[in-house]
């Protein structure tokens, strides 16, 4: 089971959205936070009108009011998704181990002049000793005027991947398009592209 943990902390304990559609509504039109009575009453967390915010957090990275038009269909991804339920990794050549993982999608902190994209970060750790097992960084974007999504990632094992696929509502089915690696990385088998 995945749980979403916001990295934005509010002083008010009651800071939450009362309607599950707030994120979608505000991502489509951020001005709703200022002009809509519904949003002011029911979308406190998404509109960030909950009171004082801890200064150590960069809240603009997760503020769906500022999602570029091209990326609005992906606004539901923005945030930190963390699983500590103990995923099991089973490989034929090593002992079974339990891991946790975190995936983050955020808005870029600087204005991108080329292709609009969300930042993507993911890492996994060993649940027994908290040692990092894997990390990857990249960008997720959409082809203009389509539902085609592309994710490009670079990993700490020297691999680079390009995946693409269709967006259906809040589901994306990515298919590996290309993979590359630096010449001196560990040689891992690739089964299909």
Question: CA 76 to CA 15: how far, in whole Å?
Answer: 19
Question: What share of the chain has pLDDT > 90, as a percent?
Answer: 36
Q: How confident is the model at residue 135 (pLDDT cuts 50, 70, 90)?
A: very high
User: In this structure, what token pair is assigned to residue 129?
Assistant: 């000793």
Tokens of 113: 């002049």
**E-assigned strand segments in the chain:** 3-4, 79-91, 94-106, 118-126, 132-142, 148-155, 159-168, 171-172, 175-181
The reported pLDDT for the residue numbered 191 is: 62
Q: What is the mean pLDDT of the chain?
A: 81
Confidence class for position 4, pLDDT limits 50, 70, 90? very low
Predicted confidence (pLDDT) at residue 57 exceeds the cutoff of 60? no
Instruction: Assign 119 a pLDDT band (cuts: 50, 70, 90).
Output: very high
Q: Residue 51: pLDDT above 50? A: yes
Q: Which two tokens stand for residue 160?
A: 């680079």
Give all domains of the chain, ordered by start, each with its CATH number.
8-66 (no CATH), 68-193 (2.40.128.20)
Q: Band the pLDDT of 159: cuts 50, 70, 90.
A: very high
In this prediction, residues 60-76 reach a mean pLDDT of 88
For residue 178, what pLDDT is reported? 96
DSSP readout, 7-39? S--BS-TT--BSSTTHHHHHHH-TTHHHH-HHH
Beta bridge partners of 19: none
């Amino acid at each position: 089971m995945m749980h979403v943990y916001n990295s934005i902390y509010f002083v008010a304990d009651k800071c939450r959205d009362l309607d599950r559609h707030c994120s979608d509504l505000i991502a489509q039109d951020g001005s709703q936070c200022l002009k809509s009575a519904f949003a002011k009453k029911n979308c406190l967390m998404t509109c960030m009108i909950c009171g004082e915010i801890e200064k150590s957090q960069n809240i603009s990275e997760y503020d769906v009011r500022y999602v570029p038009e091209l990326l609005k269909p992906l606004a539901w991804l923005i945030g930190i998704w963390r699983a500590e339920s103990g995923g099991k990794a089973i490989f034929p050549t090593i002992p079974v181990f339990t891991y946790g993982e975190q995936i983050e999608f955020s808005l870029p902190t600087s204005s991108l002049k080329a292709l609009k994209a969300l930042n993507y970060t993911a890492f996994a750790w060993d649940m027994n000793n908290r040692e990092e097992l894997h990390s990857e960084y990249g960008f997720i974007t959409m082809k203009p005027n389509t539902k085609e999504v592309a994710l490009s990632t670079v990993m700490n094992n020297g691999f680079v991947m390009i995946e693409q696929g269709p967006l259906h509502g809040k589901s994306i089915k990515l298919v590996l398009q290309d993979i590359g690696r630096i010449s001196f990385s560990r040689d891992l088998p690739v089964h299909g592209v």
